[in-house]
Amino acid sequence: MITAEQVLHFETFGFLVLRKLLSADEVNSVQREFDAVWLRASAGQPWSGEKTESCQPFCETSAPLTNLAVDDRIHGTIEQLLGTSAIWGASNATRFVGDSSWHADDYGGLLKTYPAIKAVMYMDTVEKDTGCLRIIPGSHHRSFNRPLRPLDEQNLDPSLTPFGVSGTNTPGYPMETQPGDVLFFDVRAYHGAFGGSPGRSNIQMVYFPEPANIDEVEILRKIYHETQFHLRFPESFLNSDQPRLKSMASKLVELGFETKTA
């Protein structure tokens, strides 16, 4: 359980880092499963290390990683931040090469007033100068988010300096983590990573709150139709004996979304 102060921290700044959420043994198990799922998804081909690559869906294809997605330490935190009727968004794994310029994951501006949260776990120790995820605190608020839109140009061309500084020197909070730590952030906040070595990797899980009105339902429908993997889930979710999995899947069925990750 996170504290009221931590909830306020998230609401104000748009992120939260929870230390040592998983034990060393659990981290080792997740790493083994990460490697196994990645190898299956790539048809047995090892990662080339030449460019950033992502694998999606990810947790949905693995029972142990699915359990991670509904683990009380992660999903329980999501429930405190989004409400007990959270909806499964998607998951992916990424192996990074080079920087990730500043950007917001707002699905083309759809999430102006409707939030989504990513829970992210890095497989490696990542610090300020070694590729940790940085965030511009408070940039999930529309009043602050709009003035930062010039950063989108920098995301397309990293050589641009819309605020007179490089991406690396743009003010941001380094969300440094070690294996076992989990960070949570509002996807509308501007975030990026700089200076990391090739091969640093993470698992990302996206959650949405249950839509409160027809406008929010329409936002989810647009995200569903404009993406390939979001708001989709395997049949096993719906038939699961885990209440959280079954609940998240059932809500998506009610919205008319497919019951498979194809």
Domains of the chain: which residue ranges? 4-254
- Average pLDDT in the 245-256 region? 91
The CA–CA distances, whole Å, from 132 to 48, 49, 108, 175, 197 equal: 22, 18, 25, 6, 10
Average confidence score pLDDT of the chain: 93
| Type of residue found at 182 | V
Q: What is the pLDDT of residue 155?
A: 82
Do the Cβ atoms of 90 and 229 come closer than 8 Å?
Answer: yes
Confidence of residue 46 (pLDDT cuts 50, 70, 90): confident
Rounded CA-CA distance 85/100 in Å is 32
Do the Cβ atoms of 209 and 131 come closer than 8 Å?
Answer: no
pTM, 2 dp: 0.95
pLDDT tens per residue, range 189-213: 999 999 988 989 999 999 999 999 9
At 207, is the secondary structure helix, strand, or coil? strand
Higher pLDDT, 84 or 18: 18
Q: What is the pLDDT of residue 262?
A: 43
Rounded CA-CA distance 90/133 in Å is 19
The CA–CA distances, whole Å, from 238 to 19, 62, 225, 232 equal: 31, 15, 21, 11
* Sheet containing 191-193: order of strands: 100-103, 191-193, 133-135, 173-175
pLDDT tens per residue, range 121-173: 999 999 999 999 999 999 999 999 999 999 998 888 888 999 999 999 999 99
Asked which of 14-28, 40-54, 57-71, 94-108 is least confident by mean pLDDT, the reply is 40-54
Rounded CA-CA distance 175/134 in Å is 6
CATH 2.60.120.620 assigned to domain 4-254? The reply is yes
Q: Which of 108, 224, 158 is nearest to 233 (CA)?
A: 224
